[in-house]
Chains A and B, each alone.
Chain A
Amino acid sequence: MIRESLRRIFALIKKEFITIWKDPKSRGVIIALPLLQLFVFANAITMEVKNIDMVVIDRDNSVESRELLSRFEHSPRFRKFYYVTEEKDFQKKLDTQSVQIGLYIDNDFSSSVKAQRPVDIMVAVDGRQTNSASIAGAYAAQIIGDYNNEITSSNGAKINVVVRNWFNPNLEYRWYILTVIVSMLALVITLLLTALSIARERELGTFDQLIVSPLSSFEILVGKTVPPLFIAMVLTSLMTLIVVAVFKVPFAGSVVLFLIAIFISLLSIVGVGLFISSICKTQQQAVLGVITFQTPAVLLSGFISPIEDMPVFLQYFTLLNPVRFFMLLTRGIFLKGMGFEDVFVNLIPLILIAMVTLTLASWTFKRNLD
């Protein structure tokens, strides 16, 4: 009985592998596309704002103001400087996004510094790119602050803030973004593999043939789960290996825990994908289902904006989002060396999601027939 069942499941798994793997185009989409994207994203994405171009009006044109400006010129973050005299040129440079930041030094600058009298310097940032603008603004403030400390003659109490960045001492953005990208690419590919699988069979009529065969719902479910899960596991492990070997991100945690975590995470995504697929009659509907799930899942995963900042109802909503836990686990184990207990706590919601979606999917196989 069990042997027969295994035989049927094995046949289905083999068939799925052939369908996914035989077509070179499909292989390209599943393996080459994510690897290519991994390389591009890893190299391109950064939050460190570099190559900042700046427009300057120096009304003072004194030793002090030039000294301050030379600090900017020597900073590796700043690239080009445009010295203008007219305010309308200043405005224009910012308007046309030729520069991201503008500095305005008034003509009382050197006299105030000499007299140790407080003086304002205007730093204008381009708010159309609020993100990088405020970071560039912070760099500018820091340079000004350093200069401040040197020219201020008075001594006094100050606070030295010692910062220790755990798990990522130099706050390398790449370490963070790579762990995020691995899980996002795994999400996208896993959904692709699963969400179309049943919908496509429905559209082509082959699903009827499966239902008429002695394969039970459970067997179909297993047969539809294993191949995409296997491929996604291999792909995720491969990407992780690349992250460690090529991009030299230190792997802090336990490999076994990591494999367990991605297994359960991917299982829950397979569950979501199969559920989407089981309620769709055509491939077009399935594509729609993927986008409707994927967009909120990625945006609300905590990657772009922290979950703690969302309105409370959305925070609860993210408990249903497997990507949230997936990312937390990959990052946690990879960079922070999360232990078993912590991993387990975060696996619970994923297991629940997987159970519910897979059950619903197998239940829907046989309903939704008319």
Chain B
Amino acid sequence: MITVEIRNLIKTFSETTAIDNLSLDIEKGKITGLIGADGAGKTTLIRLIIGLLLPDSGEVKTLDLNPFTQKSELTPKIGYMPQKFGLYEDLTVIENLWLYADLKNQPYEFDKMLEFTNLKQFQDRLAGALSGGMKQKLGLACALLGTPDFLVLDEPSVGVDPISRKDLMKMVRDLINPETTVLWSTAYLDEAHSFDTAVVLDKGKVIYNGRPHDLSSTSKGFEEKVIELMGGYKKEDSLIAENYKPISSDLNCTVEAVNLEKKYGNFYAVRNNSFCINRGEIFGLLGPNGAGKSTSFKMMCGLTSPTDGTAKIMGIDILENPEKARSNLGYMAQKFSLYGSLTVRQNLEFFAAAYGINFSDRKKRVDEIIHVFGFEDIQEQKSEDLSLGFKQRLSMACALIHNPPILFLDEPTSGVDVITRRDFWNHIISLAKKGVTILVTTHFMDEAEYCDRISLFYKGETIAVGTPDELKQKANADNMEDTFITLIKESEKE
């Protein structure tokens, strides 16, 4: 039995070919993972399958219907969760559920769903005020309303912590029936490894379609195989790090948090947060969504003023002399925050100049960055038209453009494909070796292993600090994911 049948599908956008003569069958009752590099055409393919986009040519049959001509008959059978979750952030949890239940002609029976997602106590909270993990669960709950025959999830786990990801997986598996087909695009290969089928896309073509276990029995091995399929990753010396001119400094703590505290009313978003990061150290902030990582981050670079305590960058107090302190900083925000109407090159040129790189060096530096990040082909594209992964890369590139001695990276790799992630970390590690101090948050637990030290953050407080090995020992676990879950659960009990 086949849910989706695609034949010779072609879709182009002005200059680029997003889907290139693609044919694919998606089996009924299976969970199919859609993997691929940034810009491989995952989102476009998904939108074509459910009739949100029209193709240039080719045929698609979804649930025996033509999505391009029979969209209105098809949509009631589909549960779709788009990349931004499709939630109304100014409606409450329950109001969002009401809306989607009505749109799908379903009764207001959410008890089971609310129970399952732990959203019951938050049902009157605005969706915009939920943490990333909870938003994602609500988004999924809305997509699952009316038990669709075909559930389509576009990168549902971007920016979500390991616990929430596990919950999400469980939710999907428990709430669908054996007849339901699931199409799930993801950047997490461990997730994809657990699915029935994996489809790997590259440049708008299917380069692999089969059982993930046929490639490898372990998720680690699967990752290597996928990387191989996608053209392989050859670790090269980081050009960025090579070109980095280290700044000599005999400071012990290049980044220091001194009793940082942020209080909203009676609620502590961050409490009593102190740490000292040494020169050339990679310091990871880990924790579930909503634990206060981003708030700490914003206080560290002076975007939010702390209610108590302060932070020092290269020994300079961020409250007393913010401009001077920040000139040492490369900052990459969680949300894409570059100028959408500027091209890739213009964005880089702007940040190069904003950080005071003089005119003669600027072109060289921008060319260099474009080369290192592989932007040659897209340098004249508007940055708002880039795929999620390329946006992340561009943000990273802008943060690095001025050779800062300190880098603050807030979820730099969320939504980025596996090869690019490896490349990112190659640069990060090489830069750290050159003496760059790095503060980073991530939800990829394999990435946490790259950190020199980790601070585990929960409910506004640090619950553990140490090297990855120390933490694993403490939790008595053999990988970071279990360490994370164990330590959080322990602190929950206390």
Contact = CB atoms under 8 A, between A and B. Distances in A.
A313 B228 CA distance: 77
Contacts of A212: 301-303, 326, 329, 331
B303 A369 contact: yes
Contact of A213 (B340, B342, B354): B354
Given A22-B341, A23-B341, A208-B303, A213 B326 contact: yes
Contacts of B340: 204
Interface stretch (A10-18, A68-76, A350-358): A10-18
B324 to A, nearest CB: 8
Interface in A298-341: none
A98 B342 CA distance: 57
Nearest to A19: B341
A15 B342 contact: yes
A322 B301 CA distance: 38
A46 B320 CA distance: 60
Contacts of A18: 341-342, 346
Interface string B371-405: 00000000000000000000000000010000000
A211 B351 CA distance: 12
B339 A19 contact: yes
Given A19-B339, A370-B304, A208 B333 contact: yes
A210 B354 CA distance: 8
B350 A15 contact: yes
B411 interface: no
Interface in A115-172: none
B256 interface: no
A215 interface: yes
Given A206-B338, A369-B304, A214 B346 contact: no
B437 to A, nearest CB: 16
A334 B355 CA distance: 45
A209 B333 contact: yes
Contacts of B333: 205, 208-209
Contacts of B155: none
A7 interface: yes
Contacts of A204: 337, 340
B349 interface: yes
Contact of A214 (B338, B356, B398): B356
A8 B342 contact: no
A214 B314 CA distance: 14
Contacts of B302: 211-212
B350 A11 contact: yes
A22 B350 CA distance: 15
B88 interface: no
A7 B303 contact: no
Interface size class of A (residues with CB under 8 A): 20 to 34
Contacts, number: 80
Contacts of B398: 209
A214 B404 CA distance: 12
A213 B351 CA distance: 8
- Most chain A beta-carbon contacts within 10 A, residue among B338, B354, B358: B354
Given A10-B353, A369-B305, A209 B341 contact: no
A209 B356 contact: no
B354 A12 contact: yes
A214 B355 contact: yes
A214 B351 CA distance: 10
Contacts of B326: 211-214
B337 A206 contact: yes
B12 to A, nearest CB: 22
Contacts of B355: 8, 213-214
A183 B356 CA distance: 38
B327 interface: yes
A362 to B, nearest CB: 13
A4 interface: yes
Given A8-B354, A209-B338, A369-B305, A15 B346 contact: yes
A4 B357 CA distance: 8
Given A213-B351, A213-B354, A370-B304, A15 B359 contact: no
Contacts of A215: 323, 354
A4 B336 CA distance: 27
Interface string A338-370: 000000000000000000000000000010011
Nearest to A215: B354
A7 B341 contact: no
Contacts of A8: 353-356
Contact of A19 (B322, B327, B342): B342
B357 to A, nearest CB: 8
A258 B115 CA distance: 71
Contacts of B337: 204-206, 208-209
Contacts of B298: 208
B354 A11 contact: yes
A22 B339 CA distance: 12
B303 A211 contact: yes
A285 interface: no
Interface in B415-458: none
A7 B326 CA distance: 17
B323 A214 contact: yes
Interface string A1-36: 000100110111011001100110000000000000
Interface string A89-113: 0000000000000000000000000
A205 B351 CA distance: 15
B335 interface: yes
Contacts of A23: 341
Nearest 9 Cβ contacts at the A-B interface: A11-B353, A205-B337, A214-B327, A212-B331, A213-B354, A4-B356, A15-B350, A206-B337, A205-B335
24 contacts: A7-B353, A7-B356, A7-B358, A8-B353, A10-B353, A14-B353, A15-B342, A15-B346, A18-B341, A19-B339, A22-B341, A205-B335, A205-B337, A206-B339, A208-B303, A209-B338, A212-B302, A213-B326, A213-B354, A214-B326, A214-B356, A215-B323, A216-B323, A370-B305
